[in-house]
Amino acid sequence: MTKHKDNQTEDQILKAAQIIFQTKGMDGARMQEIADKASINKAMLHYYYRSKQLLFEAVFNKAFSLLAPELNRILNDSSSIEEKIKNFTDNYISFMIKHPYLPGFIIQELNRNPKFIEKLESNVSFPDITKFKNQVKNEIENGTIIPISAEQLFINILSLNVFPFVASPLIKALVNVDDTTYQTILEARKEDVSNFLINAIKK
């Protein structure tokens, strides 16, 4: 139980902090800017979250726990590799279209402070790929898919799904398309990526 009776202000702060931290990162974010966005006094940030670091961690943990459990669920359900790929791709691209800053934010901050990972790993719902690895091994033996390292396949799935969101300004410039066209391309990827992946590993 929290010592605060009313969590309305607390929520307002967290929402504002999410927007600022996720677009500007820890270093680029300013407490005053978060306070302005939350329409409150700067001292309130410290009253509710004590420090910039703790407020940041609240935002970061919430962001991560928004992505990890779903990944873990898909990795460990009973579906085949092919179904997992379809499931993951469709799920995550849809999710990231709605929250385009999330993956870049998480990756950027993990790069900035590698110690964060230890905290995440001790988290209960931190994704575990052991089942996925066994499944890949089995399906290779069964002849369902071509021989491939499970780790490499996992990295490939992740790359094809996440990178277009992390590097969108760069890709937009390279492919030479505007925002709306890029949006269409991302939409198409919900199907394209899983087809591409399955085509790459199916016998």
Partner DNA sequence: AAATTTGTTAACCAAATGGTTAAACTAATT
Partner DNA sequence: AATTAGTTTAACCATTTGGTTAACAAATTT
Binding site for a second copy (CB under 8 A): 24-25, 27-28, 104, 106-108, 110-112, 114, 117, 120-121, 126-127, 129, 146, 148-149, 151-152, 154-156, 158-160, 162-164, 166-177, 185, 188-189, 192-193, 196-197, 199-201
Give the C-alpha distances (Å, rounded to integers) separating 181 from 23, 172, 173.
22, 9, 12
| CA 155/CA 8 separation, integer angstroms | 40
Cβ atoms 38, 13 nearer than 8 A: yes
Q: Which does 44 bind (CB under 5 to 8 A by kind): a second copy, DNA, none?
A: DNA
Nearest to 200 by CA among 75, 74, 82: 82
Give residues 167-196 in contact with DNA (rule: CB under 7 A). none
| CA 10/CA 45 separation, integer angstroms | 8
Residues 10-29, one symbol each (x = binds DNA by CB under 7 A, - = not), give: -------------------x
Scanning 45-53, 64-72, 120-128, 167-175 for contacts with DNA by CB under 7 A, the matching segment is 45-53
4 binds DNA (CB under 7 A): yes
| CA 19/CA 29 separation, integer angstroms | 10
Helix, strand or coil for residue 179?
Answer: helix
Q: Which does 135 bind (CB under 5 to 8 A by kind): DNA, a second copy, none?
A: none
Cβ atoms 70, 90 nearer than 8 A: no
At its nearest, how many Å lie between a second copy and the CB of residue 131? 13
Residues found near DNA in the complex (CB under 7 A): 3-6, 9, 29-32, 40-44, 46-47, 50-53
